[in-house]
């Protein structure tokens, strides 16, 4: 089942309906950072694509709902003379997903620019200041069943031309580094503290390694790509092989950045 609620009230009614029938559910964005196991997910995927408004709250604050594309939020802030989150310009997906994984680049994370989040928790809409939440590198710990509805960002005054330059550099860099030529779910592994996952993978001799149709990209070795006909099992087996090889050569255990869901 794939459900697209119109608004918060519609979402609450949907969750109530699913709960009465013991149907599991999972919120999703655009699915860029998602790997679904081959047996699928027996439940409801809930898309918040219609939660797509961005509003200025005065001063340095803007509010973005979960379904807004990342670049759209950067552009909105730019027009308001605000900046500081240009590093998410080239990250595909929506604000809800970016918040959930604390998306970022160049040593920066989106939650560092977040004032508070609006969550649906236990059927109730509540605001939580970022200091109340547990977060870190590519990580935000929420209670089971929490859904991110919106985020308020605290930004800096910034000339639009400076933001444009930041956007341009980010998009060009990502095109150069991440244009891997085959479908992928983006960076597959988190960078261990003080290290780059791709360097560890290269040092383990895994660049170009393959299982079925899944391959460690020849262009960027932290991307696992589908060269044709790959199934989820191929990616999972390849990821396990990479993790083992990196641990044997460096003693570091890589952790998946890609969200892996579905029946085992």
3-state SS of the chain is: CEECCCCHHHHHHHHHHHHHCCCCEEEECCCCCEEECCCCCCCEEEECCCCCCEEEEECCEEEEECCCEHHHHHHHHHHCCEECCHHHCCCCCEHHHHHHCCCEECCEEHHHHEEEEEEEECCEEEEEEHHHCEEECCEEECCCCCEEEEEEEECEECCHHHHHHHHHHHHHHHHHHHCCCCCEEEECECCCCCCCHHHHHHHCCCCCCEECCEEECCCCCCEEEECCCCCHHHHHHHHHHHHHHHHHHHCCCCCECCEEECCC
> Which of 37, 138, 199, 210 is the catalytic position?
138
> Which of 184, 187, 217, 221 is the catalytic position?
187
187 catalytic per annotation: yes
112 catalytic per annotation: no
What are the residues facing 119 on neighbouring strands?
126, 148
> Which of 65, 69, 166, 257 is the catalytic position?
257
257 catalytic per annotation: yes
Catalytic residues: 138, 187, 257
């Amino acid at each position: 089942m794939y459900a697209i609620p119109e608004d918060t009230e519609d979402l609450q009614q949907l969750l109530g309906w699913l709960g009465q029938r013991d149907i599991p559910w999972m919120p999703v964005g655009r699915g860029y950072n998602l790997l679904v196991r081959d047996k699928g997910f027996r439940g409801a995927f809930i898309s918040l694509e219609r939660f797509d408004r961005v509003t200025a709250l005065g001063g340095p604050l803007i509010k973005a709902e979960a379904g807004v594309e990342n670049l759209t939020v950067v552009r909105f802030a730019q027009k308001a003379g605000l900046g500081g989150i240009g590093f998410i310009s080239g990250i595909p997906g929506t604000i809800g997903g970016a918040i959930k994984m604390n998306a970022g680049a160049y040593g920066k994370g989106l939650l560092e620019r977040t004032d508070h989040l609006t969550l649906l928790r236990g059927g109730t809409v509540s605001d939580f200041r970022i200091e109340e939440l547990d977060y870190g590198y590519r990580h935000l710990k929420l209670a089971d069943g929490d859904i991110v509805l919106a985020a308020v960002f605290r930004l800096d005054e910034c000339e639009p031309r400076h933001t444009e330059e930041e956007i341009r550099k980010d998009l060009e860099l990502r095109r150069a580094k991440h244009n891997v030529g085959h479908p992928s779910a983006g960076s597959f592994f988190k960078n261990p503290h003080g290290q780059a996952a791709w360097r560890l993978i290269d040092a383990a001799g895994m660049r170009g390694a393959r299982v079925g149709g899944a391959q460690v990209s020849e262009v960027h070795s932290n991307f696992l790509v589908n060269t044709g006909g790959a199934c989820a099992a191929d990616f999972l087996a390849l990821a396990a092989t990479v993790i083992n090889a990196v641990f044997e050569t460096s003693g570091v255990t890589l952790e998946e950045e890609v969200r892996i869901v579905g029946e085992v």
